[in-house]
Structure 1
Amino acid sequence: MPKKSADSDRTTGAMVPTTGEIEARLLVLDMIAASATVRLLRLHDDLEKSELIAQILHDIDFCCRSRGLHFRDILDAQGYAEELLKDAQTQADGLDDIKHAYINRK
C-alpha cells in the first residue's frame, strides 16, 4: 500500500507493507516450512534426523550471530525451531501411522 504524505494527498514512491501483509507472509513461510519439514523428516532414519536437527540448530546459531543478534534472541530462535521440528515429527509419525493402517486394511 502506498504511503501518503501527511501534508498532501500525494503518495510517495515507497511501498510500506501493512502489519497484516507481514503477518500473512510469516504465516505462509511458517506453513511452507512446516509442510516441507514433515515430508523431510518422514524420509530419514533416526540417526539422519538427529544430524539434520543438529545442523539446522547450528545454522540458526551461525546466521543469528553473523547478523548480530543477542544471545537470548538466538536461544529463542533455536527454541522456536525445536518446537517446529517436534511438531513436524509428530505430524510425520501420524502420517506414517495412517499409511501403515491403510496398507494393512483388507
Structure 2
Amino acid sequence: MRQPGFVDPDERYQLLSENGDPLVKLAALIDFEAFRPKLSTALKRSDGSKGGRPHYNPVLMFKILVLQTFYTLSDTATEFQSRDRLSFMRFLGLGFEDAAPDRHPG
C-alpha cells in the first residue's frame, strides 16, 4: 500500500483519461484555437491603455461556455467547478496555480 503524501497531478490526469474523461475526447475532436480569430474579432476589446482588469483569453472563455452548455451549469457553478474539478482544469488549460475566471469584476 502506498504511503499517503503529495499527489502527482499527472497520475490523477492519467486515471481520469483511463476512466473515459469525455472532455479529453472533446478536446481531441475540436481544435478550439481555430476559433481564436473569429472570437477576437467578435469581442473587439479595448487596448487596456486606460487600465482596468486584464482580459481573459477568448478561447478560454469559449471553452467555459462549452462546459456550461455541456454540463448545464450556472456562472457560479462553473466558477466553482473550474477551480475544483481536475477534468475541467485540464480542459481549460489551467494549472493549480492559475486563477479561474470569476463571475464578478474586480
TM-score where L is the length of structure 1: 0.30
Structure with the bigger RCO (C-alpha within 8 Å, sep 6+) is 2
Higher helix share: 1
Rg larger in structure: 1
Higher strand share: 1
TM-score relative to the length of structure 2: 0.30
